[in-house]
Amino acid sequence: MEETKRYSVLLVDDHALFRNGLKLLLNTHPRFRVAGEAATGAEMLALLDAAAATQGGLPDVVLLDISMPEMNGIDAAAQALALYPDLRIITLSMYGEEDYYFKMVSQGVKGFLLKNSDITEVYTALETVLDGGSYFSQELLFNLVSNLRSSPPDTEAAAHAEKTDPASLSEREKEILLLICKGLTNYEIADKLFISKRTVDKHRANILEKTNCKNTANLVVYAIKNGLVEI
C-alpha cells in the first residue's frame, strides 16, 4: 500500500506552550507533520533560507502568528513572500486583531485563522490551502462584517467595494458570491449547485474581475457594502 504523503508545516509563534500543543495535534494527523518551529519572524526567515538550500526544500505551509517580539508576522510575511512568492502562509491571530487582517491579505497570505479555532478548522484551513485555495476564519469574517457595519474601514478592500456596479453580476454569480461569503470552498459550491468545479472556478474568476477584488476578503467587503449578502 502506498504511504500517504505528509505535508510539512512550519510553526511560527513566540509561545512555546501553544506551539507544543499545536505540534502534537498536527503530528497525529495522517496528512501533516511539523517540520520546524520558530519563535520570531527572524528565526522563521533563517529556517526558510536553510530549508530552501536543502533537498527537501521549503515547507508546504507556514502557520504564522501576527504578534511576536523583534519582528511581527506582518513584516515576516512580507519579507518571506518577497523571497519565496509561492510560499503558502496561514496567519494565526488572537481574537480582536481584525485590524491586521487586510494588511496580511495584501501581503499575499493564503489564510487567516483565529487562535481560538477548533483543531478541525485548522485541518480544514491547511487542506484548503494545500489544494490551492484560500481559507479565512468564518468567525473572523463575521467580526469584520460587524465592524464594517458600525464603522466602514478605510482599507483597500473597502475602496474596491465602492467602484463596481453590483448589477453587472449575473444571478448565478451573485448566488456563488453568497456561498463564497459563507465560507464554502469551490468544491463545496460545485456540489451544492450541481455544477462542475471548473465552472465554479470560471465564475469565481469572473466575479473577481467584475468587482475589481483580489481575494475572498475583498469579496466579502464588496458584498456587504453593496447589500448583496448578509452573513
Q: What is the DSSP string of 81-148?
A: HHH-TT--EEEEE-TT-GGGHHHHHHHT-SEEEETT--HHHHHHHHHHHHTT--EE-HHHHHHHHHHH
Higher-pLDDT residue of 163, 43: 43
Last residue of a domain, one of 117, 141, 165: 141
122 Cα distance to chain centroid: 11
Higher-pLDDT residue of 147, 30: 30
The pTM score is: 0.74
Residue 162 inside a domain? The answer is: yes
Would you say residue 8 has pLDDT above 80?
yes
Q: Which domain holds residue 56?
A: 7-141
Q: What share of the chain has pLDDT > 70, as a percent? A: 83
Residue 231 inside a domain? The answer is: no
Least confident of 62-71, 115-124, 177-186: 177-186
What integer best gives the mean pLDDT of the chain? 84
DSSP state of 222: H
Residue 32 inside a domain? The answer is: yes
Residue 70 inside a domain? The answer is: yes
Question: What was the pLDDT predicted at 56?
Answer: 79
pLDDT tens for 14-71 read 999 999 999 999 999 999 999 999 999 999 999 999 999 987 799 999 999 988 888 8
**Same domain assignment for residues 39 and 132:** yes
**Same domain assignment for residues 30 and 129:** yes
- What integer is the mean pLDDT of 139-149? 66
156 Cα distance to chain centroid: 17
Last residue of a domain, one of 108, 141, 174: 141
- CATH no. for residue 177? 1.10.10.10
CA distance 180 to 3: 34
Last residue of a domain, one of 121, 141, 161: 141
The type of residue at 173 is E
**Same domain assignment for residues 34 and 76:** yes
pLDDT tier for residue 157 given thresholds of 50, 70 and 90: very low
Query: In total, how many domains does the chain have?
Result: 2
Would you say residue 198 has pLDDT above 70?
yes
